[in-house]
Structure 1
Amino acid sequence: MIYKISTDTPLEQVKKELAEHSKENGFGVLGSYEFKKILQSKGFPIDKDITVYEICNPSAAQEILEGIPEMSVFLPCRLSIYEENSKTVIATINMKTLVDSMDVDVAFREHIYSIYAYLENIMKSWK
Structure 2
Amino acid sequence: MFHYTVETEKSMDEAIQSLEESLKEEQFGILWQFDIKETLQNKGFDFEQPYEVLEVCNPKEANNVLTENQLVGYFLPCKIVVYQDLETNKTKIGLPKPTALIEMVNEESLKGFAADIENRLITCIDKSI
| Partner residue in 1 for 2:128 | 126
Normalising to structure 1: TM-score of the pair? 0.89
Decide whether the 8 Å contact of 1:9 with 1:126 is kept in 2.
Answer: no
Q: Which residues in structure 2 correspond to 1:1-127 (within 5 Å)?
A: 1-84=2-85, 85-105=88-108, 107-127=109-129
Normalising to structure 2: TM-score of the pair? 0.88
Mapped partners of 2:5, 2:115: distance in 1: 16
Which amino acid in structure 2 is aligned with residue 109 of structure 1? Answer: K
Deviates more, 1:96-105 or 1:56-65: 96-105
Aligned to 2:45, the other structure's residue is in SS state coil
Q: Aligned Cα RMSD in Å? A: 1.5
Deviation for aligned residue 1:101: 4.7
Decide whether the 8 Å contact of 1:36 with 1:48 is kept in 2.
Answer: yes
Which amino acid in structure 1 is aligned with residue 120 of structure 2? Answer: Y
Which amino acid in structure 1 is aligned with residue 9 of structure 2? Answer: D
Deviation for aligned residue 1:73: 1.4
Deviation for aligned residue 1:98: 2.3
Gaps of 5+ in 1: none
Deviation for aligned residue 1:66: 1.5
Aligned to 2:33, the other structure's residue is in SS state strand
Deviates more, 1:4-13 or 1:49-58: 4-13
Mapped partners of 1:59, 1:39: distance in 2: 34
Deviation for aligned residue 1:86: 2.4
Which amino acid in structure 2 is aligned with residue 87 of structure 1? Answer: K
Map Cα deviations across residues 48-90 of structure 1 (whole Å, 9 max, x no partner): 0000011100011111111121121111011110011222111
Deviation for aligned residue 1:23: 0.3
Gaps of 5+ in 2: none
- 4+ runs of 1 displaced by more than 3 Å? none
Mapped partners of 2:51, 2:69: distance in 1: 30
Decide whether the 8 Å contact of 1:32 with 1:54 is kept in 2.
Answer: yes
